[in-house]
Amino acid sequence: MLALVAISILLLSQQTTSTSSPQEGDKPVAGGIYTEALVGSFGRLNPVLDTYNSTDYDIDRLIFSGLIQHDSRGLPHGDLAETWGISQDGKSYSFAIRPNAKFHDGSPVTSEDFLYTIDLMRSPDLPIPDDLREFWGQVDVQVIDEKTIQFRLPEPFAPFLDYLDFGVLPKHLLEGFAPGQLVDAPFNLSPVGSGPFRLESLDAQDGNILGVTLRSFPEYYGSAPFLEKVVFRYYPDEASALAAYDRGEVLGVSQITQITLTDALKKPDLNLFTSRLPRLTLVYLNLDEPGLPFFQDATVRRALLMGINRRWIADRLLGGQAIIANGPILPDNWAYYEGTERIEFDLDGAIALLKKAGYTIPAEGGNVRTKDGVPLSFELAYPEGELYSAIAERIQQDWSSIGVQVDLKAVPYDQLITDYLELRDYQAVLADINFLRSPDPDPYPFWHQAQITAGQNYSQWNDRQASEYLEQARVIDDFEQRLKRYRNFQVRFTSELPALPLLVPVISHGVDQKVGGVTMGPLYDFSDRFANITDWYLLTSAVAQAPATVTP
């Protein structure tokens, strides 16, 4: 009870976007050193090579910059790009690079640097995700002049701007290396980017890097940071990172999850900035399984969702660190439809829907509803692990209360994807959709008809109306028209429920109250906590008050 009270206090005191502000009469001034505890270890500081190391990505976010950056709603804004234009056919994108953009060694950022970086992302000799390598292999990149670059796509693709937030590398420093040599290049320990902070030093001991120190870059093309330095220190786990804050070693803790939340709440000087993660937990239903005809009935699917106490799961199993999901698009995203129907937990309502669909308790007795001799019984596979196991068991209990029998099966997560979902060899699966670094929602890969056989439409939802909305939204670059299509899609999804959306997890970032100007909106990557780091400050100067005057 005490833990629930503490968590309730946190949730009441935190908003989706949390803010710390200067005292009245003060204004921030340049100076000060902010130190943050990172959970993880150092790999290499190179934006082409940081996909699989989130702590590297955090630091690269401050050292490097890309053409585009996205705000908390997932809308694109120019970063290194001063302006851009899209051709009428939606296939060509032209960008003008800021004339004052420089690398940390003083060299100008040019179109050639972007072409060089993209060529690296096409290389089979680097650990680049296969889908990203394949994507850039289909895009024609043309250098128009030193500060103008053009991308030509094989077909219109409105989410293209999502792919342009990669950190650009300086060609003049790296062109002597073959792509395969870049993995072990000295550059990864002394990177040169164009972001608001540059590398000052690495803290190494016995061959291990224990910390990284960054210093503000005075010739940064954007708003100059108030912080003079940002220092990162590595810790093996969340508890160690929080202990470092207690010892005064750091002013911030990168992540506060359910593991350390209770302890973090006891620290009066530690502000917690809480936001949702880009992940959706849901139950996939195999709509094309001949032996389970009830999955093809939208009324039964609605009853199944109505029969899950998602609020109990969020509060009791996730410690309040999740919000209820109402559809396939993350809340607070520009495409999210606020008018999406909320399907509340209602056991009596779920039972009524099952009766309406013809599923009743047999006269001869038993607890499982049947129709035409077919029982409401199936297997729910879920990822191995204590948390997923607890969620699956709770769903099993809830569904048992409405006459649905579920057998549970724990499976290693990788195997759940490859042997169950990708092969469509399952009945129901508890899993996650990860929208990491995807501010544009683009539900096409998960729910379009064309993705039923070999794509990620694991439920095999064959709905022409929904697919048309997704097709149109993917090729129209007009924001309002895309918004309309996605609204219609969400209405259709909630009406049909091809899968059962459950929860969106949240996470917190801990920052000492001495640090002002901190905000954190909805996250598309956890490094988004640094989205406004140029506004953070430690020092202030009192604003002189104008003397009172009297007018005769």
Confidence (pLDDT) at 548: 38
Exposure class string for 119-157: b at 16+ Cβ within 10 A, else e:
ebbbbeebebeeeeeebbeebebeeeeebebbbebeebb
Task: Compute the mean pLDDT over every residue in the chain, rounded to the nearest whole number.
Answer: 93
Q: What is the pLDDT of residues 385-422, one digit of tens each?
A: 999 999 999 999 999 999 999 999 999 999 999 999 99
Q: How far is the C-alpha of 15 from the C-alpha of 186, rounded, in Å?
A: 43
485-491: Cβ within 8 A, 24+ apart = 486/329, 486/335, 486/337, 486/441, 486/443, 487/337, 487/339, 489/443, 489/447, 490/327, 490/328, 490/329, 490/336, 490/337, 490/340, 491/337, 491/339, 491/340, 491/341
Name the token pair of 494: 């909630």
Name the token pair of 470: 């997704």
Whether 168 contacts 121, CB under 8 Å: no
Q: What is the pLDDT of residues 258-280, one digit of tens each?
A: 999 999 999 999 999 999 999 99
Name the token pair of 202: 């690495």
- Eight-class DSSP state of 64: -
pTM (2 decimals)? 0.91
Q: What is the pLDDT of residues 9-43, one digit of tens each?
A: 444 444 334 444 455 557 999 999 999 999 999 99
For tokens 């649905």, what's the residue? 404
pLDDT band, residue 355 (cuts 50/70/90): very high
User: Right CATH number for 65-194 from 3.90.1150.10, 3.90.76.10, 2.130.10.10, 3.60.21.10?
Assistant: 3.90.76.10
Instruction: Express the helix, strand and coil content of the chain in percent, nearest 5 each.
Output: 30, 25, 45
Task: Give the H or E element holding residue 247.
Answer: none
Name the token pair of 21: 């502000």
Mean pLDDT of all residues in 369-379: 96
Does the fold of domain 279-505 match that of domain 19-44+55-62+195-269+513-542? no
Of the candidate ranges 229-238, 302-311, 347-356, 362-371, the one whose mean pLDDT is the lowest: 362-371
Q: What is the pLDDT of residues 281-302, one digit of tens each?
A: 999 999 999 999 999 999 999 9
Alpha-carbon distances of 301 from 205, 496, 531, rounded to whole Å: 57, 8, 39
Class of domain 279-505: alpha beta
| Structural domain boundaries in the chain | 19-44+55-62+195-269+513-542, 65-194, 279-505
Which fold does the domain 19-44+55-62+195-269+513-542 belong to in CATH? D-Maltodextrin-Binding Protein; domain 2 (3.40.190)
Single-letter code of the amino acid located at 449: Q
For tokens 């956890």, what's the residue? 526
Name the token pair of 347: 């056991």
Alpha-carbon distances of 66 from 42, 128, 163, 166, rounded to whole Å: 22, 17, 10, 5
* 200: three-class secondary structure by DSSP: strand
- Helices (runs of H) and strands (runs of E) counted in the chain: 15, 24
Alpha-carbon distances of 93 from 83, 360, 475, rounded to whole Å: 11, 58, 13
Name the token pair of 23: 């005292």
| 151 has pLDDT over 50 | yes
